[in-house]
Amino acid sequence: MPSGFRFVSRRAGGVFQGDDAMRAPYGPEIIESSLSCRHREDGLFCNLPPPAVQRLAGITSAAAYPKGATLFVEGESPRGVFILCSGKVKLSTASADGRSLILRISEQGEVLGLPATVTGKPYELTADVIESTQANFISRTDFLLFLREHGEAALRVAQQLGETYHSAIAEMRTIGLSHSAGEKLARFLLDLSADHDEGKGEVRLTLTLTQKEIAQMIGASRETVTRLFADFKKKRLLQVKGSTVIIKNKARLESVASS
């Protein structure tokens, strides 16, 4: 069972007595069924045929995890997949000498542990909760049987695995081919701003990562990230107010990222 586990509920024979949603003591709403999840339209299995949706609901366990909990650990035998209904989870890998690299931050609708669950090989990454999260769990045995029974779901999983591969290549290109930590940090901030740019000149972001975690994402030291933030502020590329970052000059930041 994943560390940090607080609450789990499983439908018995597809019947649940009471409301489909309840709230854990520390905040997140527990969605008892994937049918009720308000974010399911954004996920891998949205708009499946009704029989597939009903089958999925019958094999899904809903659980809430607090910040700091771990869903699975790199090198661990795959127990199944986790479908995020709310919250954020960081996916990281570690070297033998203890250095960590954060590959990405997962958000609602994503399916975690998919490659390992399909192939039967150990989890290739560690999944740590960075804000209170609901993750709906499906065991490996149930998940593979579900894919055998429902071809459309299996096709979507194959497409998702392909997208994961292409994303991994893009991450390696960003980290491996950038000439400086400044380029990497600029690219990180620009990627983060993609969903927040309203075309008004300035872009306002809320960082949920510490400077140490940002350093782990771009393959640099925390001290380097601290120095770069100070340098970017001095050049008036951005402004920092607590966890809020305001990109003041996106064009110049793009120039840094591509230099």
For 80, the token pair is 């199944």
Query: pTM score, two decimals?
Result: 0.66
Query: 82: which strand partners?
Result: 112, 137
Question: Do 162 and 156 touch, CB atoms closer than 8 A?
Answer: no
Q: Which of 127, 116, 142, 115 is nearest to 57 (CA)?
A: 142
Q: What is the pLDDT of residue 69?
A: 96
pLDDT tens digits for the chain (259 residues)? 454 433 333 332 222 223 333 333 333 344 444 444 543 434 678 788 899 989 999 999 999 999 999 999 999 999 999 999 999 999 999 877 777 888 888 888 889 999 999 999 999 999 999 999 999 999 999 999 999 999 999 999 998 888 877 777 776 666 666 668 898 889 888 888 876 655 556 888 888 888 898 898 888 889 999 999 999 999 999 988 888 899 988 888 988 888 6
What is the model's pLDDT at position 231?
93
Q: Rounded to an integer, what is the distance from CA 12 to the centroid of its chain?
A: 29
The pLDDT value recorded for residue 196 is: 63
Residue-wise pLDDT for 94-141, tens only, equals: 877 777 888 888 888 889 999 999 999 999 999 999 999 999 999 999
Question: Structural domains in the chain?
Answer: 7-176 (2.60.120.10), 178-257 (1.10.10.10)
Show the tokens assigned to 34: 């994937």
Torsion of CA 85, 88, 94, 97, to 10 degrees: -140
Distance separating alpha carbons of residues 220 and 214, to the nearest angstrom: 8
Torsion angle of C-alpha atoms 225, 228, 229, 233, degrees rounded to 10: 180
**CA 112 to chain CA centroid, nearest Å:** 8
Q: How far apart are CA 183 and CA 5, in angstroms?
A: 39
pLDDT at residue 240, as a whole number: 87
Nearest to 20 by CA among 7, 9, 33: 33
Q: What is the Cα–Cα distance from 201 to 59, expressed in whole angstroms?
A: 47
How is residue 224 written in tokens? 């380097």
